[in-house]
């Protein structure tokens, strides 16, 4: 129903791997930060001794934005010390305007801190600041935080409408009986599954997606319609990395119906599957269109 499209979210992603700053420059507070690693993962960490650091940690000028369009800024952060009952706070600004208010870092586990902003210029000067709790003018707490995976870009959107082929989707083992092909319905392209004799249950479509963001929520959806009224009704579901994100859903109607589920990305990559739960080759005929993967803001 629609043209194939992918709008990658990670237009600018800094993972700090191999101690690579990716163009970020340390500010006065950043001079106290160093690199650490957990296994293969590098991250940027605040001083080990208890310090009250207020002000600029990192700065970076990034170009290529479209004025008036929305973007997302996000990072992973965690508190790295429990020697105080007070908490560090973090903030991002762009061209002098706060992109999200100061957010308190309370958890020792990695958490996502993010904000949506509208670009006001083609080039934006980003500033990352840390501060600590201020109570009646008194500074409380420390700047003992870890940060990782700073990402700035548009929300991730992918669409396969089969107008130009499978768009890197791969037919799964349950299509081995044959007959699957792109069909034309009055100018609209879709994928036709005229099931044959044999076992038609299992993965029918699969695709590896890269450029996702850890701990971020995504929505995976598609449109389905049955193509005849022969006895076996198609039953389909969606899965991510082998885990179902929808119920096994019957599609008795010959009108287009959406199937959708949400999931939290475990990392930068994920494998998405479309699964059939009916093995019969008599009936069980259907078409699929508009496979979408969308980041939820």
pLDDT band at 141 (very low <50, low <70, confident <90, very high): low
In terms of domains, do 188 and 144 share one? no
Q: Indicate if 213 and 260 belong to the same structural domain.
A: yes
- Asked whether residue 98 is assigned to any structural domain, the reply reads yes
Which pLDDT does position 222 carry in this prediction?
98
Question: pLDDT confidence of 297, banded at 50, 70, 90?
Answer: confident
CATH number at residue 218: 2.60.120.260
| Residue pLDDT, tens place only, 30-46 | 888 999 999 989 999 98
Quote the pLDDT of residue 104: 85
Q: Looking at residue 7, what is its pLDDT? A: 58
Helix (H, G, I), strand (E, B) or coil at 107: coil
In this prediction, residue 27 has a pLDDT band, given cuts at 50, 70 and 90, of very high
The residue range of the domain holding 236 is 157-295
Structure tokens at 295: 């980041």
Q: How confident is the model at residue 110 (pLDDT cuts 50, 70, 90)?
A: very high
Half-sphere CA count of 53, side-chain side, radius 13 A: 24
Flag whether 240 is in a domain: yes
pLDDT digits (tens, 9 = 90+) for 224-236: 999 999 999 999 9
Task: Out of 111, 126, 153, pick the residue that ends a domain.
Answer: 153
Residue-level pLDDT at 202: 97
pLDDT greater than 90 at residue 24:
yes
pTM for the whole structure? 0.87
User: For the segment 86-103, what is each residue's pLDDT rounded down to a tens digit?
Assistant: 778 889 999 999 998 888
**Domains identified in the chain, total number:** 2
Model pLDDT, residue 1: 52
| Domain end (from 108, 134, 153) | 153
Confidence of residue 245 (pLDDT cuts 50, 70, 90): very high
Give the end of a domain, one of 153, 184, 216: 153
Q: Which residue has the higher pLDDT, 86 or 243?
A: 243
- Decide: residue 31, CB within 10 A, 0-12 exposed, 13-18 middle, 19+ buried: exposed
User: Distance between CA atoms of 76 and 99, rounded to whole angstroms?
Assistant: 16
**Structure confidence at residue 14 as a pLDDT band (50, 70, 90):** very high
Q: Are residues 165 and 82 in the same domain?
A: no
**Farthest-apart Cα atoms in the chain, separation:** 77
Q: What is the mean pLDDT of residues 58-77?
A: 94
Tell whether 273 and 260 lie within a shared domain.
yes
Greater confidence, 197 or 142? 197
149: CATH: 2.60.120.200
273 domain residue, yes or no: yes
Q: Do residues 121 and 12 share a domain?
A: yes
For residue 1, tell me if it sits in a domain. no
């Amino acid at each position: 129903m629609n043209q194939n499209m992918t709008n990658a979210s990670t237009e600018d992603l800094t993972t700090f791997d191999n101690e690579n700053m990716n163009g970020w420059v340390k500010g006065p507070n950043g001079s106290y930060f160093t690199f650490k690693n957990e296994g293969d993962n590098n991250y940027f960490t605040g001083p080990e001794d208890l310090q009250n650091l207020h002000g600029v940690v990192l700065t970076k000028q990034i170009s290529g934005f479209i004025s008036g369009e929305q973007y997302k800024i996000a990072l992973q952060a965690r508190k790295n010390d429990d020697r105080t009952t007070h908490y560090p706070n973090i903030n991002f600004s762009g061209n002098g305007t706060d992109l999200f208010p100061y957010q308190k870092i309370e958890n020792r586990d990695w958490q996502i801190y993010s904000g949506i902003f509208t670009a006001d210029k083609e080039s934006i000067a980003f500033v990352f600041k840390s501060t600590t709790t201020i109570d009646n003018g008194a500074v409380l707490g420390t700047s003992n935080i870890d940060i990782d995976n700073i990402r700035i870009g548009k929300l991730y959107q992918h669409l396969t409408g089969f107008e130009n082929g499978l768009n890197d989707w791969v037919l799964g083992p349950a299509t081995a009986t044959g007959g699957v092909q792109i069909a034309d319905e009055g100018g609209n392209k879709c994928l036709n599954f005229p099931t044959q004799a044999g076992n038609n249950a299992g993965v029918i479509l699969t695709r590896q997606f890269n450029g996702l963001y850890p701990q971020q929520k995504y929505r995976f959806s598609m449109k389905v319609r049955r193509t005849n009224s022969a006895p076996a009704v198609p039953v389909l579901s969606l899965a991510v990395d082998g885990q179902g994100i929808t119920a096994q859903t019957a599609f008795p109607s010959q009108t287009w119906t959406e199937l959708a589920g949400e999931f939290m990305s475990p990392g930068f990559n994920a494998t998405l599957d479309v699964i059939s739960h009916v093995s019969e080759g008599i009936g069980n005929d259907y078409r699929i269109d508009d496979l979408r993967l969308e980041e939820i803001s």
